[in-house]
Structure 1
Amino acid sequence: MPSWDWAALAGEDLPEILAIEEAAHPYPWSEAVFEDCLRAGYRLDGAFDRGQLIGYSVVMTVLDEWHLLNLCVDPAVQRRGAGRFLLERLLESAVAAEASCLLLEVRAGNRAAIALYESAGFADIGHRKAYYPAPNGREDARVMRRLLS
């Protein structure tokens, strides 16, 4: 596996975050959404390759539950382990913080992400009908959870 660095992100990282978000998603989060996440105190962490941001995660913590809101990798480096790297660092941080679980929603058709989450021990706990925007209307979401304690 490549040697990547992992660090907390801040407002000055927004241009790089937005560039990745817009390259990776047909319906990207806006700058205002990321600013709201930072203002609310959500965890934004990044994976770096020689100082260049290659992916990030956004997590909201509520009591002892962590909710992964966004995990995104630059399309230029996808399928090389950066998503797994981010998820593993996130899980390590959650365990260290004594979180009970990590929750997430994922597009029902996002097979690569679902395979990553399942391989990391996540299991389905629910379904959200028409949760995400899609080219022909809306796409369902799978709600997944990984117990940590």
Structure 2
Amino acid sequence: MTEADLPAVMAIEQVTFPLDAWSEGMMRGELADMPRTRHYVVALVDDEIVAYAGLAAAADQADVQTIAVLEAHRGTGIGGAMLTELLAEATRRGAREVFLEVRADNPQAQGVYRHYGFEEIGTRRRYYDDGTDAIMMRRKLGD
């Protein structure tokens, strides 16, 4: 992902996370840390950005910052491919564990993460702006 991708990325951000979307300034801040501690990617279909994902990595720990796929492209494998890329990048950077938070009211996303080896490790109460809890998940790497 580059700054040139931000208009498309921010449009996806707004429709995917209408209640707690990141601001463009927050996303620019993430990109400013690439490649030092961040890794962001986009997915294209017919030269159109339809999804994006990001990872934060430091020392032996990484965090999935975000994964967003336009609704018309969900269930096509794009989200899984992006998660696979983030996990590969975490491994390249020497991470031993990858963490994430997922909305408690999003069982589809929770199922995807479980399919990729993530386990529930706790709950962050009222984590999201609308008061929804976050399920914390972790996947160990390389053992």
> Is TM (by shorter chain) over 0.5?
yes
Tell me the TM-score normalised to structure 1 length: 0.87
Cα shift at 1:96: 2.8
The answer to whether 1:20 aligns with 2:16 is no
Cα shift at 1:97: 2.7
More strand by share: 1
Ranges in structure 2 where 5+ consecutive residues have no aligned partner: none
> Residues 21-36 of structure 1: matches in 2 within 5 Å?
21-27=13-19, 28-36=21-29
The answer to whether 1:144 aligns with 2:140 is no
> 3-state SS of the aligned residue for 1:131?
coil
The answer for the alignment partner of 2:60 in structure 1 is: 64
Higher mean alpha-carbon deviation, 49-58 vs 113-122, is at 49-58
Q: 1:39 aligns with which of 32, 40, 44?
A: 32
The answer for the alignment partner of 2:46 in structure 1 is: 50
The answer for the alignment partner of 1:118 in structure 2 is: 114
Kept in 1: contact 2:123–2:136 (CA 8 A): yes
| Cα distance between partner residues in 1 of 2:7 and 2:14 | 11
> 3-state SS of the aligned residue for 1:79?
coil
Kept in 1: contact 2:67–2:79 (CA 8 A): yes
Residue-pair matches, total: 138
> 3-state SS of the aligned residue for 2:22?
coil
| Cα distance between partner residues in 1 of 2:138 and 2:51 | 21
The answer for the alignment partner of 1:108 in structure 2 is: 104
Q: Which amino acid aligns with 2:9?
A: I
Tell me the TM-score normalised to structure 2 length: 0.90
Cα shift at 1:51: 2.2
Cα shift at 1:76: 2.0
The answer for the alignment partner of 1:6 in structure 2 is: none
Q: Which amino acid aligns with 1:52?
A: E
Q: 1:81 aligns with which of 74, 77, 81?
A: 77
| Cα distance between partner residues in 1 of 2:108 and 2:23 | 24
> 3-state SS of the aligned residue for 1:139?
coil
1:63 to 1:124, Cα distance in 2 relative to 1, 3 A: same
Once the two structures are superposed, residues 49-68 of structure 1 have per-residue CA deviations (whole angstroms, 9 ceiling, x without a partner) of 23221111121112121111
The answer for the alignment partner of 1:96 in structure 2 is: 92
Q: Which amino acid aligns with 2:27?
A: F
